[in-house]
């Protein structure tokens, strides 16, 4: 479904990604791991067209994304839950969800009631402005907002960062539910235990290079990898 | 919009509606004229707030559309076409077209560049007006009041007043509906975080262009009304200081609120009217230097009155309405 090949991305004159590779199949959940500053978010920004790679290709369902404007990429079915959540502070919860929604195909498209069912808290706060929410509520809203675009691939960038353990657990639970519905997901996170449980495949970046990829069993087995690249 | 905000809006509009009968009772027809002018600028300020307050587009050339609307009426009147059913649609179409063209180019820039380019476009029209010798050039030209096939008589001060009032109410209703539509939510979202909105799949440029064009069109109506009020059209209507005045009305009244710009227009124009009198009464001879006091008042409002006059009435400023 999503395929990155040989991506080189620069910020100004400094190169951040060196031949980055990544693949997410339909219905798959993949993780992207690595320490801070290794190029995870840059990879996501390259996928979403928010930065342009100097070389390489990003293909989504066989279609090349690197030449497309950001809004077209999103329209093709990539939904991003960005790092730092980036809720629209001047819109209400309901407006945040509805403003950017798009109609979904398939048997069970995401609708306002379905998102409220997933996160009942959002329904209670639907008239509050985006900047009046707690961190956990904002995260739920960011996920709900992405789901309302009915993405074919959902990308979560540090979705559990800075959240209380209980709320984290709730988010992981929700991701497992999403996976069960056949949603394709790319997750960026640091919680190896949770990732190993939910993901089919893992990618580890180090200084802009893809240094390791494998499935959950291989990840669990290889303590050296965990130690060397993830600092555990 | 909570109850309190609705209350401010309804009371405010009711007060406007009561001006002609009150002026009649006290035999002060001057106030009908003055408040008609206030409402005309309120329409312009509401339209600017749509893009400035809600859309984050700091257009410093909004008076251009007042000029376009006014000249549409003036030029048609010059050629003997006084029919308002022709003049107003032409004024609206002309303002929409100009706003679309200006928006197409200026919205490719942001920040200071956007401010400067909108200012430049407006000044371009200003100097175009000066160079139009046929239409009075620098001196401007007289315009007759529009005729509406005997349905409304604009030479009657009260009828003219209520026509302007109707346009103001319409502008407020349209703006309210737009802001709370999905379209409005996208425009407001783009103000807060444009890249995020694009990453959500929205070509924000088109949405902003649509908002910019709607605002210009609405302001064109204010221009057509202004030509009628003034019975005169001149390039002064679109001088950059006029754009600044409209912007001050919005900021003073409360950016990003529905009623704020109306309060701002009222406050600014009343101060302009009465400040010299008050100063003269206080210390003789100071009246003509009223701007010395006006400046600090505006600065104080911007510095201390976050949310503008509107915030004094409603609980909070910011994006509601």
* CA–CA separation, A93 and A142 (whole Å): 10
Q: Report the complex ipTM.
A: 0.77
Nearest Cα of chain B lies from the Cα of A76 at a distance, in angstroms, of 8
A191 interfaces chain B, CB cutoff of 8 Å:
no
Spell B18-53 as b/e; 16+ CB within 10 A means b.
Answer: ebbeebeeeeeeebbebbbbbbbbbbbbbbbbbbbb
Whole-number percent of chain A with pLDDT over 90: 72
Q: How does pLDDT run across A100-109, given as a tens digit for each residue?
A: 888 777 667 8
* CA–CA separation, B39 and B266 (whole Å): 8
Q: Is residue A5 part of a domain?
A: yes
- Average pLDDT of span B185-193: 93
CB spacing of B186 vs A98 below 8 angstroms = no
- CATH number of the domain encompassing residue A39: 3.40.50.300
Q: Is residue A108 part of a domain?
A: no
Contacts of B182 in chain A (CB under 8 A): 98-99
At residue A113 the predicted structure's pLDDT band, cuts being 50, 70 and 90, is very high
A86 interfaces chain B, CB cutoff of 8 Å:
yes
CATH architecture observed for domain B3-313? Orthogonal Bundle (1.10)
Q: Is residue A68 part of a domain?
A: yes
A163 interfaces chain B, CB cutoff of 8 Å:
no
Q: Which of A51, A91, A112, A142 to mutate to test the interface with B (most CBs of B within 10 A)?
A: A91
Specify the pLDDT at position B317: 42
Domain holding A225, by residue range, is 1-76+191-232
Domain borders along chain B are: 3-313
Beta bridge partners of A17: A9
CB-count exposure of residue B151 (10 Å: 0-12, 13-18, 19+): exposed
CB spacing of B189 vs A82 below 8 angstroms = no
Number of domains chain A contains? 1
pTM recorded for the entire structure? 0.87
Using only the alpha carbons of chain B, give its radius of gyration.
Answer: 19
A88 interfaces chain B, CB cutoff of 8 Å:
yes
B319 interfaces chain A, CB cutoff of 8 Å:
yes
Lowest mean pLDDT among A62-71, A138-147, B157-166, B282-291: B282-291
* CA–CA separation, B237 and B245 (whole Å): 11
Q: How does pLDDT run across B218-268, given as a tens digit for each residue?
A: 999 999 999 999 999 999 999 999 999 999 999 999 999 999 999 999 999
């Amino acid at each position: 479904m999503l395929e990155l090949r040989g991506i080189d991305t620069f910020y100004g004159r400094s190169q951040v990604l060196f031949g980055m590779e990544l693949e997410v199949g339909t219905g798959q959940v993949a993780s992207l791991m690595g320490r801070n500053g290794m190029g995870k978010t840059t990879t996501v920004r390259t996928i979403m067209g928010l930065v342009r790679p100097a070389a390489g290709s990003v293909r989504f369902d066989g279609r090349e994304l690197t030449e497309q404007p950001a809004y077209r990429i999103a329209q093709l079915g990539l939904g991003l839950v960005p790092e730092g959540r980036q809720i629209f502070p001047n819109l209400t919860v309901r407006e945040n969800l509805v403003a950017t929604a798009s109609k979904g195909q398939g048997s069970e498209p995401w609708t306002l009631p379905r998102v409220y069912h997933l996160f009942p808290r959002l329904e209670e706060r639907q008239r509050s402005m985006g900047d009046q929410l707690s961190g956990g509520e904002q995260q739920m809203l960011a996920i709900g907002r992405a789901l309302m675009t009915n993405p074919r691939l959902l990308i979560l960038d540090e979705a559990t960062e800075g959240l209380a353990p209980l709320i984290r657990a709730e988010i992981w639970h929700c991701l497992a539910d999403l996976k069960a519905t056949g949603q394709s997901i790319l997750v960026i996170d640091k919680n190896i235990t949770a990732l190993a449980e939910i993901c089919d495949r893992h990618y580890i970046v180090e200084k802009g290079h893809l240094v390791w990829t494998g499935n959950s069993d291989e990840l669990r087995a290889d303590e050296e990898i965990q130690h060397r690249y993830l600092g555990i | 919009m909570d109850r309190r905000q609705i209350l401010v809006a309804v009371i405010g509009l009711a007060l406007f509606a009561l001006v002609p009968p009150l002026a009649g009772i006290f035999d002060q027809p001057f106030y009908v004229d003055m408040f008609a002018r206030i409402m005309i600028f309120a329409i312009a300020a509401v339209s600017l707030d749509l893009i400035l307050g809600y859309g984050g587009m700091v257009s410093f050339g909004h008076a251009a559309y007042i000029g376009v609307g006014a000249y549409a009426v003036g030029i048609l009147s010059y050629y003997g076409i006084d029919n308002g059913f022709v003049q107003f649609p032409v004024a609206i179409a002309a303002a929409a077209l100009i706003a679309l063209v200006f928006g197409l180019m200026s919205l490719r820039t942001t920040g200071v560049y956007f401010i400067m380019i909108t200012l430049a476009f407006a000044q371009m029209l200003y100097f175009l007006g000066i160079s139009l010798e046929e239409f009075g050039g620098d001196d401007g030209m007289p315009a007759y009041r529009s005729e509406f096939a005997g349905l409304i008589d604009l030479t009657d001060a009260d009828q003219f007043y209520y026509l302007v009032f109707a346009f103001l109410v319409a502008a407020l209703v349209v703006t309210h509906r737009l802001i709370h539509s999905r379209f409005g939510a996208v425009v407001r979202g783009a103000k807060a975080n444009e890249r995020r909105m694009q990453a959500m799949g929205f070509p924000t440029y088109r949405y902003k262009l649509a908002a910019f064009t709607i605002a210009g069109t609405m302001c064109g109506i204010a221009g057509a009304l202004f030509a009628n009020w003034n019975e005169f059209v001149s390039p002064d209507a679109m001088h950059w200081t006029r754009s600044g005045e409209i912007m001050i009305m919005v900021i003073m009244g409360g950016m990003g609120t529905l009623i704020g710009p109306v309060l701002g227009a009222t406050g600014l124009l009343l101060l302009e009217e009465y400040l010299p009198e008050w100063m003269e009464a206080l210390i003789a001879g100071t009246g003509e230097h009223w701007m010395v006091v006006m400046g600090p008042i505006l600065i104080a409002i911007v510095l201390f009155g976050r949310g503008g006059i509107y915030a004094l009435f409603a609980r909070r400023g910011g994006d509601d309405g």
